[in-house]
Amino acid sequence: MKKILKTLSLLLALVLTLSACGTKKEVSQETSNETSNVLKIGATPVPHVEILNFIKEDLAQEGVELEIIEFTDYVQPNVLLSDKELDANFFQHVPYLDSFVTERNLDLVSVAKVHVEPLGLYSKKFESLEDIKDGATISIPNDPTNEGRALILLDNAGIIKLKDDAGLEATEFDIAHNPKNLVFKPIEAPQLPRTLEDVDGSVINTNFALEANLNPTKDAILLEGSNSPYANIIVTRNDNKGDEKIQKLIKVIQSEKVKKFIEEKYNGAVVPAF
């Protein structure tokens, strides 16, 4: 009996020792992750991943290893960032972020503006804003975010005047002054380039303009600039915004080198916002 008890005592001691080793290893791993020089960032392919790949070497020189995780949706990058599976993400603009964090009660914040994928006014019938005729028909995106964005673009150019409280999701009903009596035709964004022959002008998202072989810098009569509220941003958690790796990311991605890269690679289809 004593022999059995002694054997059980030895087995118990061994189990406790192994458990302690496992705990020590887990704590050690957590500590290693906290002090790691790896910065995990989620991003969508173009131009976000391309820009991040461009800065990887410069960040490495700052002592930060950039790990890029590519996404093709707009939900997971924010959810995983909130869950601390990512350190940052790069795919969205402030209006989208504000809507997402409000809806899901997440504590995410923008820390840097990087670029704008500009919305532009195109036409086959007039070559300047002054040429727009009274009663002209202008097609615009019909989704809430981009319809408001299109109207704000025209408001900033003085073509129309929106109500002071119109906000970023303005609609035709928020137009306070329309001196040229323009008629607006909301259409699904991907279909906008196809309307150019049927309307006097169309406000088109850059990605759809490019697909239709329209060059934003050459063909657009009016184009968003770097002051657009729809600049694409670096996002992190509020409790992580002061992290040294995040600060180094901001420093590198808002450099003159990156600005030149964006201007030369995208030829106006993507505009630096810093």
pLDDT of residue 35: 57
- Tens digit of each residue's pLDDT (9 = 90 or more) over 45-93: 989 999 999 999 999 999 999 999 999 899 999 999 999 999 999 999 9
Cβ atoms of 203 and 150 closer than 8 Å: yes
Domain extents in the chain? 37-118+229-272, 120-223
pLDDT of residue 39: 98
Domain pair 37-118+229-272 / 120-223, same fold: yes
- Tens digit of each residue's pLDDT (9 = 90 or more) over 236-248: 999 999 999 999 9
- Residue 206 sits at φ, ψ, to 5 deg, of -55, -45
- Tens digit of each residue's pLDDT (9 = 90 or more) over 180-221: 999 999 999 989 999 899 999 999 988 788 888 898 889 999
Three-state SS at 139: strand
- Tens digit of each residue's pLDDT (9 = 90 or more) over 107-151: 999 999 999 989 999 999 999 999 999 999 999 999 888 899 999
Q: How many residues appear in the chain?
A: 274
Residues 6 or more apart whose Cβ sits within 8 Å of residue 45? 70, 72
State the Cα–Cα distance between residues 228 and 274, nearest whole angstrom.
Answer: 11
Q: Which CATH superfamily is domain 120-223 in?
A: Periplasmic binding protein-like II (3.40.190.10)
* 123 torsion bin: left (phi>0), alpha (psi -120 to 50), beta (else): beta
Beta bridge partners of 139: 185, 202
- Residue 171 sits at φ, ψ, to 5 deg, of -125, 180
- Tens digit of each residue's pLDDT (9 = 90 or more) over 10-57: 444 544 444 444 433 333 333 334 558 999 999 999 899 999 999 999
End-to-end CA distance of the chain: 79
Cβ atoms of 224 and 157 closer than 8 Å: no
Record the pTM.
0.72
Query: What's the fold here for domain 37-118+229-272?
Result: D-Maltodextrin-Binding Protein; domain 2 (3.40.190)
